Amino acid sequence: MANAIPKDLPAPERYKYTPFEDCYSVRILTLEPGVGDEPLVGHLGFEGLDLNPQYEAISYCWGTGGRSSEIICDGKPLPLTKSIEGALRRVRHPTSQRRLWADQVCINQYDIAERSQQVGLMNAIYKGAERVLVWLGEDTQGVAHDAMTMIHYLDGVFNNEEMHNEFKRVHSEELLFQDRTPWVPFSNLTRLPWFSRMWIVQEIGTGAPATLYWGDAEVDWEVLSSVAGVLNTNYHYLRSRFSIFTPNIRYLYQRFVELEEQYDFNHNRAAFIYELHRARHLLAKDPRDHVYAFLGHFSLNTGSQSLTELVADYSRSVEDIFYDVAARELSGRESLLVLSACHAVPATYRRRIMERGDIPTWAPDWRVVPLHLMGTPGSPHRASGNYSQPQLYINDKRRALHIRGVRLDRINRPSWIFWHNAFHFRRGGPTTRAVSLSKLYGATYVVAISHSA
């Protein structure tokens, strides 16, 4: 086990970062070989991204604990969280060095200016990596190998027409009779915290090859994503019955890779606001990352010119950033899409109690979970159609939006919000658990098929 950093260790004895000399360099960690509980030892050096340095990038969950572990960096201790310590130990080679990039080690997290500047390079960092190494965490339940076995089994089935046809028959006509037990490890994998992180959309979505590590088991990202894609498309009731949460996995696939087909700014995947809205369900320790995690997305190049000038700055308030995004989008784009992302959600429906502060009602609060999706990627929601261009101006001092429109009617009373539990009912009495209507429909469908066969 790594030795914790003594609380009375004088500050000068800890590792001290050397500032960057230019704006396109990163630090690369050369991790020395080791095994087991041997101390983590490494060296940090500057590398210019324009020189295409060789390295692998680590993606992981920061975790909730403090920096109770350490790595000996250039002879001095550098504090680490338990999560990144586990990741470094998992990917450390036993006999050779490994060149790595990990934000907690390679960025001075206590220097706000450096942190802001390096965030602007995140897309280039992960896109330029030889491989992304994803640390899902320790296998505390001892099921990781079973999960990977199931993934590889499904991959083989889905790539064999005869086997796939038989699998489809068994898991439709006989779904209710299938044992849940073999699916539990895979279900556990799909619910790991890493899949809900805001930053992973960029870290795993650039198209760089990736390997996912869970304890001492591993799986290739392409294999997992392919399996998730088939399950999403063809096996809704199977996923529902066995609690397989693959939609989020498939959503992550190549999210930061520009579309190959021709598209214009009306395509949702070319809309920065759509991407922010699509990711609202993900979690960020710093609310500003709801915006900053997408500054490397290709949609910025097809929208408002003003939006392309937006840069990460962690000295700004959350409210100021959210307002700025909405104002830049409206002032430079011939679309009112950003207004469709505004949700006047009561506090009882929020993830946590929070004040809107100085965010105007016409600027989305990206911390609020989405009530709806704004159309499909290729079929955007456009309430006003293509008949006219918006006429508006923004009073920046008052943060007020003035826009020309047509009054159609007056809203007298809003309805209550339809969350997923609105479609549950209780059967057998008030003490029984709620049953999803979609699950009931799936069960009815399966029984009907079996009787008609």
pLDDT, tens digit, for every residue of 222-242?
999 999 999 999 999 999 999
Q: pLDDT of 149-166, one tens digit each?
A: 999 999 999 999 999 999
Would the pLDDT of 349 be above 80?
Answer: no
Structure tokens that stand for 57 in this block: 């990038």
117 vs 448, higher pLDDT: 117
Residue 356: is its pLDDT beyond 60?
A: no
pLDDT, tens only, 275-332: 999 899 899 999 999 999 999 998 888 767 788 899 999 999 999 999 999 999 988 7
Candidate from 65-69, 70-74, 81-85, 364-368 with smallest mean pLDDT: 65-69
The predicted-structure confidence for 82-111, as pLDDT tens digits, reads as follows 999 999 999 999 999 999 999 999 999 999
Which pLDDT score, from 0 to 100, does residue 172 have? 84
Q: Is 60 exceeded by the pLDDT of residue 9?
A: no
> Can you tell me the mean pLDDT for 392-410?
89
- Residue 208 confidence (pLDDT) above 90: yes
pLDDT confidence of residue 248: 87
Q: Which of 55-59, 100-104, 208-212, 370-374 has the lowest mean pLDDT?
A: 370-374
For residue 46, pLDDT beyond 60: yes
User: What is the chain's mean pLDDT, rounded?
Assistant: 85
Position 70 scores a pLDDT of: 94
- N residues, the chain: 453
Residue tagged 């310590």 (tokens): 85
Predicted pLDDT at 104: 96
User: What is the identity of the amino acid at 25?
Assistant: S
Residue ranges of the domains in the chain? 11-130, 144-252, 268-403, 421-452
Residue 291 · residue 359 · CB < 8 Å: no
CB 152 within 8 A of CB 185: no
CB of 97 within 8 A of CB of 33?
yes
Q: Where does the pLDDT of residue 417 fall: very low under 50, low under 70, confident under 90, or very high at 90 and above?
A: low
Tell if the pTM clears 0.75, that is, is over it. yes
What's the confidence (pLDDT) of residue 174?
84
DSSP sequence for 11-71? GGGS--PPPPSSTTEEEEEEEPP--TTSPPEEEEEEEEGGG----EEEEE---SS---EEE
Nearest to 32 by CA among 80, 132, 131, 99: 99
Lowest mean pLDDT among 66-70, 89-93, 418-422: 418-422
